[in-house]
Structure 1
Amino acid sequence: MERPKYIASLSFGKDSLAAILLAKEHGEPLDEAVYCEVMFDENISGEVPEHRDFIYNTAIPRLERMGVRIVVLRSQQTYVGLFTGRVTRGPKKGMVRSFPLCGKCAVQRDCKIRPIERYRKTLPVGTVSYVGIAQDEQERLLRLEGGQQVSLLAKYNFTEQDAWQLCEKAGLLSPVYAFTDRGGCWFCPNAKREELRHLYDHHPDLWARMLELQAIPGKVTEKFNRTQKFSDIDAMFRQEDSDAAPQQAA
């Protein structure tokens, strides 16, 4: 009887990379690893630039040398495309859709989940997916779909800290962990303050693109996240820099 196909879901965060390292170390079957890259627009990735550089210049070449086939998916839809689209019905018809809602992200749905679902429909029935969920994430482990989703981290008793150490030892720990403990697009409404401050400090070109979107009139919502406009966050960081300037001069 022919064995099922085995794929790994890959974000290039520590947990998904650790799952692949464990598969190679323990001789687990692995036919390919699937990564979906969310795009800001047609040319700019939604990945934090340091993470995208790590993905394409370090991680993918390293995994391919290990014999792992990498499948990169992208949606035709982008963050900007969704942002600038117009509402087609209801009381807000004609307005610019603008910032995605926290907890109900159209970007996650249209730019990531749908391309992955389309790809999965091309896979053989019974395909098994390795997911990067650690032993100490019990609530997430309980949501796995029977034998079709498997956590190798749980199988080999690897916690999130163990995954970190395994990737670090292998030279496959993303540089984003220097300023955040989570993965996510640089325009994510759930981004933590540290992530936004990093973007403001190190990627002013991307920051400026968000301010340009904020300035578009006729939006459904002006808020970037649950409480603030993106321009409010910009003003807050500018004020922090202004307050810090006299202290630095002294």
Structure 2
Amino acid sequence: MKKIASCSFGKDSLAAIIVSEENGVHIDEAVYCRIMFDNEISAEPPEHEAFIHEVAIPKLEEEYGIKTTIVQAGETYCERFFTQYQRGGKIGQIYGFPMRRGAWCNSHLKLRPIAEWKRNAGDYITIVGIAADETERIERKTVQGKMLPLVEHGINEAQAFEICKKRGLLSPAYSKGRTRLGCWFCHNQRIAELRRLRKEYPELWEKLMKLDEVSHCRFTQRATVHDFEKRFSEEDRQITLFDYFG
């Protein structure tokens, strides 16, 4: 049976591939679900996007003989954001930002294209990058019947980080203090990541601000993007005053 790795190109999914290969288990294929913000901008932090296509995909094929299949929805985040409801009490209203529960971004941009790919994938077993110290994820029913190489070999997140680093397969996105990678516009990310986005990629932050102006749903359950903008601006002013009087 084929062995196919579900790969985000984060430290855990890549470490799972490396550990499998170095312990005699060959991965037949890596599958990456690419999400696009619009027709030109990826959902990945820019440095991670470059790493995926310029470093990781070529290296997996050259060093391990693993080809990567890119699965992608037929629509972008912005296209679904501006899609109007065709039925129910919201007819004519745009989707706007996803709700925390039953988020359309997950169903439309990830689950559906993966389900379509699965229909023609044949029989296979999935290799998943979950570290040995991620106990909550290990206990979920969704991992039953899947191979967890890092768990099998007792490799925790810190060790997965070092494995990727030594093999030249650690995304530069981690060098900025990130411990997790994900869509830069995700409504579930930590406030620290939103602050980082605003500081490091003001052009992306501005795009999120523009969407915020027309969405009927708050960006998070309790706050809009403009609420965060106000908070971060006030924090910047406090830091400036502290430096001045310090």
TM range (shorter): over 0.9
Q: Which residue of 2 aligns with 1:101?
A: 99
User: How far is 1:24 from its partner?
Assistant: 1.7
Does 1:71 pair with 2:69? yes
Q: Give the Cα–Cα distance (whole angstroms) in 2 for the partners of residues 130 and 94 of structure 1.
A: 42
Q: RMSD of the alignment, in Å?
A: 1.6
2:225 to 230, 234, 239: 230
- Aligned residues between the structures: 242
Does 1:116 pair with 2:109? no
2:169 alignment partner, SS class: coil
User: How far is 1:9 from its partner?
Assistant: 0.4
Q: Which residue of 1 aligns with 2:167?
A: 170
Does 1:59 pair with 2:47? no
User: How far is 1:249 from its partner?
Assistant: 4.1
AA in 2 matched with 1:24: E
Q: Which residue of 1 aligns with 2:26?
A: 29
Identical aligned pairs, as a percentage?
38
AA in 1 matched with 2:14: L
2:37 to 37, 40, 44: 40
Q: Which residue of 1 aligns with 2:216?
A: 220
Does 1:129 pair with 2:126? yes
The TM-score with structure 1 as length reference comes to 0.91
Check whether the contact 1:179–1:198 (CA below 8 A) recurs between aligned residues. Answer: no
Check whether the contact 1:54–1:175 (CA below 8 A) recurs between aligned residues. Answer: yes
1:244 to 215, 239, 242: 239
Q: Which residue of 1 aligns with 2:201?
A: 203
Check whether the contact 2:38–2:77 (CA below 8 A) recurs between aligned residues. Answer: yes
User: How far is 1:144 from its partner?
Assistant: 4.6
2:100 alignment partner, SS class: coil
Q: Give the Cα–Cα distance (whole angstroms) in 1 for the partners of residues 143 and 179 of structure 2.
A: 26
CA offsets, 1:192-246, max 9 Å, x none?
1111111101111111111111122xx432x101110001111111122222223
Q: Which residue of 1 aligns with 2:84?
A: 86
Q: Give the Cα–Cα distance (whole angstroms) in 2 for the partners of residues 225 and 144 of structure 1.
A: 26
Q: Give the Cα–Cα distance (whole angstroms) in 1 for the partners of residues 78 and 150 of structure 2.
A: 36
Write out aligned runs for 1:143-158 (5 A).
143-144=141-142, 146-147=144-145, 149-158=146-155
Q: Give the Cα–Cα distance (whole angstroms) in 2 for the partners of residues 103 and 163 of structure 1.
A: 30
Q: Give the Cα–Cα distance (whole angstroms) in 2 for the partners of residues 139 and 192 of structure 1.
A: 19
Q: 1:42 to 1:227 in 2, by over 3 A?
A: same
Q: Give the Cα–Cα distance (whole angstroms) in 2 for the partners of residues 248 and 105 of structure 1.
A: 42
Q: Give the Cα–Cα distance (whole angstroms) in 2 for the partners of residues 33 and 41 of structure 1.
A: 24
Check whether the contact 1:87–1:95 (CA below 8 A) recurs between aligned residues. Answer: yes
Check whether the contact 2:57–2:67 (CA below 8 A) recurs between aligned residues. Answer: no
2:17 to 16, 20, 39: 20
User: How far is 1:95 from its partner?
Assistant: 1.3
